[in-house]
Amino acid sequence: MYDVAIIGTGPAGLSAVLTLKLHNKEIIWFGSPEMSDKVGKSEKIANYPGVAMVGGADLNAKFRAQADEMGLESADKRVTNIAAMGDHYMILADNEMYEARTVLLSTGIAAAKGMENEARLLGAGVSYCATCDGFLYKGKTVAVYCTDERMAHDIKYLEEISGKLYIYTSFGYTTDAENAEVLKLPVKKLDGGMKCDSIELTDGTKIDVDGVFILRPAIAPSTVLPGLEMDGAHIKVDRSQETNYKGCYAAGDCTGRPYQIAKAVGEGNVAAHAILEHLNEIGKEN
Amino acid sequence: MYDVAIIGTGPAGLSAVLTLKLHNKEIIWFGSPEMSDKVGKSEKIANYPGVAMVGGADLNAKFRAQADEMGLESADKRVTNIAAMGDHYMILADNEMYEARTVLLSTGIAAAKGMENEARLLGAGVSYCATCDGFLYKGKTVAVYCTDERMAHDIKYLEEISGKLYIYTSFGYTTDAENAEVLKLPVKKLDGGMKCDSIELTDGTKIDVDGVFILRPAIAPSTVLPGLEMDGAHIKVDRSQETNYKGCYAAGDCTGRPYQIAKAVGEGNVAAHAILEHLNEIGKEN
């Protein structure tokens, strides 16, 4: 049982993990070892105190180096589901189960609500994880919708196993695979009764499929943790960064504007201290 | 008329001023050019993202250099009074008056409530500013209570002008001035009806005086801005860092724990964005 599961390796997650590590907490930290894609792609950052006028890639490298220096490693796994168990949380990441007393969501800003019917059909022909669920679709007709270039390897994997693969990406993807067809228009809607059986493109074209993989940098938090109270596209938190779930906190872009490194770092710090206080209250039981 | 008056040159103030400067706002920034005394005196900071394991003096120097690089200069004046005028604020600093549409309080954590009778007798024999009010006590009997070594020059000034000077400092002060007497015990209480006429030390000793100067690194915010809603010793703010006064924001240690650089920097950033939004709403009138 971990003391805390931190989801996200951006500035908010890093800020929290640095503080929690100093306090010798048992931490599982999920996210890309490349840290924040968003920071890395920023041209110049002029208003982050302590690091004067810096390119995003450089600042992101500083973040990475600092985590390394503190011996902090992230598990490069995608969290697809969190379940509140009363006094702790179960976290499903790349089909492995983890347990933690507290959770910090620092997942960045996700596509607001997902596609039409996405939440309803999730787990019924719709999956967020090719590695986890790809084997279910061997030889079948599959669509993949991907907005995260770092997940292109998952598209390759789906090319290998599917009978026919329809691909839409936001970053321009080409392939020689004979069973693959790159779509020019994005998917706007998923259809099906008990199970997803077709997709609809933005021009109204319908394509029959056996399954759909949606690969985004982040999954809408309320899909991952059902019942999580939102304020529009943002996770609702109080001044201590706690969500409506006791012991579950959120920090950074996912809690709202301004989408700024300084704000994320501050919220990660506040959340870490609230987590320390909470852990102290509940006491360690194992 | 300034767009914003920022009070404090610690991490919260710096974070806000960097952002507001990028947005070309007219800013008056009050505080020591030496930035944060508290940061400067920290031994090691291990959890500030982007600057790995750093001595406080070094980090404070980075803050200073960054402000210089952006052409940001602070006015080294002590803000003693703020008055809400409806659509703007009047700010009194070292007896000069400034006007600003918005105010950011980033004053650090101040002595909770001051001494007994301090708020009541302020301006009636009690002053926070030797430069401002010293001339009123030429040749008279004065007490000075100082907890900020950087204000020792004000004690010297009072030695020069007063007839008799009682001195208490928290940092060990010695003097050869014949009219000066260093007290071993701190002042715990001020006395007087319409005007302060004596002080009481912690052992109960009473000393008659004509006036008292209280020189602290920060003045309790609710003394500076009467009616400011507090939560214990902290300024009460909402998620956008706004206080109970419209257009008046607070960020950093003065809003509460954790007393951390990351938290201060985050709140300063959030406050700056809220100020931008507010300025946009009220529109520029002159």
The model's pLDDT over A121-162, given as tens digits with 9 standing for 90+, comes to: 988 899 887 877 888 899 999 999 998 887 888 899 899 999
- Residue B282, chain A, CB below 8 Å: the answer is no
ipTM: 0.75
d(CA B259, CA B70): 26
Domain locations in chain B as residue ranges? 2-110+219-282, 118-215
| Percent of chain A whose pLDDT exceeds 90 | 71
In the DSSP assignment, the letter for residue A43 is: S
Q: Do B265 and A268 touch (CB under 8 A)?
A: no
Q: Do A11 and B65 touch (CB under 8 A)?
A: no
**With 80 as the cut, is the pLDDT of residue B150 above it?**
no
- Residue B62, chain A, CB below 8 Å: the answer is yes
* Span A250-264, average pLDDT: 94
How many other CB atoms are there within 10 angstroms of residue B277's CB atom?
Answer: 12
Q: In the CATH scheme, what is the homologous superfamily, with its name and number, of domain B118-215?
A: FAD/NAD(P)-binding domain (3.50.50.60)
From chain B, the residues in CB contact with A69 under 8 A are 52-53
Residue of chain B nearest A251, judged by CA positions: B266
Average pLDDT for chain B: 92
* Span B271-277, average pLDDT: 95
**Closest C-alpha to A107, from A250, A272, A5, A237:** A250
Strand A44-45 versus strand A54-55 pairing type: antiparallel
* pLDDT level of residue A41 (50, 70, 90 thresholds): confident
From chain A, the residues in CB contact with B269 under 8 A are 47, 258, 260, 262-263, 266
From chain A, the residues in CB contact with B17 under 8 A are none
* Span A29-54, average pLDDT: 90
Phi then psi for residue A132, to 5 deg, are -75, -50
* Dihedral of alpha carbons B115, B238, A254, B9, sign: negative
Please give the radius of gyration of chain A, using alpha carbons only, rounded to the nearest integer.
19
Strand A198-201 versus strand A206-208 pairing type: antiparallel
Q: Which residue has the tokens 């690969």?
A: A215
- Residue B46, chain A, CB below 8 Å: the answer is yes
More confident residue, A93 or B153: A93
- Per-residue DSSP letters for chain B? -EEEEEE--SHHHHHHHHHHHHTT--EEEES-TT--HHHHT-SEE---TTS-SEEHHHHHHHHHHHHHHTT---B---EEEEEE-SSSEEEEETTEEEEEEEEEE---PPPSS-SBTHHHHBTTTEES-HHHHGGGGTTSEEEEEE--GGGHHHHHHHHHH-SEEEEEESS------TTEEE-SS-EEEEE-SSS--EEEETTS-EEE-SEEEEE-SS--HHHHSTT--EETTEE---TT-B-SSTTEEE-SGGG-S---HHHHHHHHHHHHHHHHHHHHHH----
Q: What is the pLDDT of residue A111?
A: 55
- Residue A142, chain B, CB below 8 Å: the answer is no
Q: Which residue has the tokens 């759909």?
A: A212
Q: What architecture is the B2-110+219-282 domain classified under in CATH?
A: 3-Layer(bba) Sandwich (3.50)
The model's pLDDT over B71-95, given as tens digits with 9 standing for 90+, comes to: 999 999 989 899 999 999 999 998 8
Distance from CA of A239 to the nearest CA of B (A): 7
d(CA B3, CA A214): 46
Give the Cα-Cα-Cα angle B192, B198, B202 (nearest 5 degrees): 115
More confident residue, A266 or B172: A266
d(CA A59, CA A266): 16
Distance from CA of B79 to the nearest CA of A (A): 24
Q: What is the pLDDT of residue B152?
A: 85
For residue A150, is it left (φ>0), alpha (ψ between -120 and 50) or beta? alpha
- Residue A23, chain B, CB below 8 Å: the answer is no
| Percent of chain B whose pLDDT exceeds 70 | 97
**Closest C-alpha to B147, from B164, B112, B171:** B171
* Span A99-105, average pLDDT: 98
In the DSSP assignment, the letter for residue A75 is: B
Average pLDDT for chain A: 92
Residue B265: which of A22, A63, A265 has the nearest Cβ? A265
Amino acid identity of A25?
K
Amino acid identity of A163?
G
Q: What is the pLDDT of residue A286?
A: 44
Token digits for A72? 């902090």
* pLDDT level of residue B148 (50, 70, 90 thresholds): confident
Q: Is B204 exposed, middle or buried (0-12, 13-18, 19+ CB in 10 A)?
A: exposed
Contact of B271 with B241, CB cutoff 8 Å: yes
More confident residue, A232 or B67: B67
d(CA B75, CA B102): 17
- Residue A39, chain B, CB below 8 Å: the answer is no
**Chain-centre distance for alpha carbon B2:** 19
From chain B, the residues in CB contact with A263 under 8 A are 266, 269-270, 273
**With 50 as the cut, is the pLDDT of residue A70 above it?**
yes
The model's pLDDT over B184-232, given as tens digits with 9 standing for 90+, comes to: 999 999 999 999 999 999 999 999 999 999 988 777 888 899 999 999 8
Q: For domain A2-110+218-282, which CATH number applies: 3.40.1670.10, 3.50.50.60, 3.40.50.10490, 2.60.120.10? A: 3.50.50.60
What are residue A144's DSSP bridge partners? Answer: A167, A213
**With 80 as the cut, is the pLDDT of residue B113 above it?**
no
Q: Give the DSSP H or E segment for A29.
A: strand A27-30
Distance from CA of B46 to the nearest CA of A (A): 7
More confident residue, A112 or B125: B125
Q: What is the pLDDT of residue B160?
A: 93
Q: Do B18 and A46 touch (CB under 8 A)?
A: yes
Q: Do A273 and B260 touch (CB under 8 A)?
A: yes
- Residue A43, chain B, CB below 8 Å: the answer is no
Distance from CA of A268 to the nearest CA of B (A): 8
Q: What is the pLDDT of residue A185?
A: 94
More confident residue, A208 or B221: A208
Q: What is the pLDDT of residue B221?
A: 87
What are residue B4's DSSP bridge partners? Answer: B27, B102
Q: Give the DSSP H or E segment for A203.
A: none
From chain A, the residues in CB contact with B61 under 8 A are none
Interface test with A, best of B265, B277, B278 (most A CBs within 10 A): B265
Token digits for B7? 């009070």
From chain B, the residues in CB contact with A251 under 8 A are none
The model's pLDDT over B157-172, given as tens digits with 9 standing for 90+, comes to: 899 999 999 999 999 9
**With 60 as the cut, is the pLDDT of residue A284 above it?**
no
* Span A178-188, average pLDDT: 95
Q: What is the pLDDT of residue B109?
A: 81
For residue A69, is it left (φ>0), alpha (ψ between -120 and 50) or beta? alpha
- Residue B52, chain A, CB below 8 Å: the answer is yes
Q: Do A258 and B268 touch (CB under 8 A)?
A: no
Q: What is the pLDDT of residue A151?
A: 81
**With 60 as the cut, is the pLDDT of residue B241 above it?**
yes
Please give the radius of gyration of chain B, using alpha carbons only, rounded to the nearest integer.
19
* Alpha-carbon distances, residue A189 vs A124, A186, B164 (angstroms): 15, 9, 84
Are A2-110+218-282 and A118-215 the same fold in CATH? yes
d(CA B84, CA B266): 26
From chain A, the residues in CB contact with B278 under 8 A are none
**Closest C-alpha to B219, from B78, B40, B25, B125:** B78
Q: Which residue has the tokens 């607001």?
A: A112
Whole-prediction pTM value?
0.78
**With 50 as the cut, is the pLDDT of residue B286 above it?**
no
Distance from CA of B3 to the nearest CA of A (A): 19
Distance from CA of B252 to the nearest CA of A (A): 10
In the sheet that holds A164-169, the strands lie side by side as: A126-127, A211-215, A141-146, A164-169, A180-182
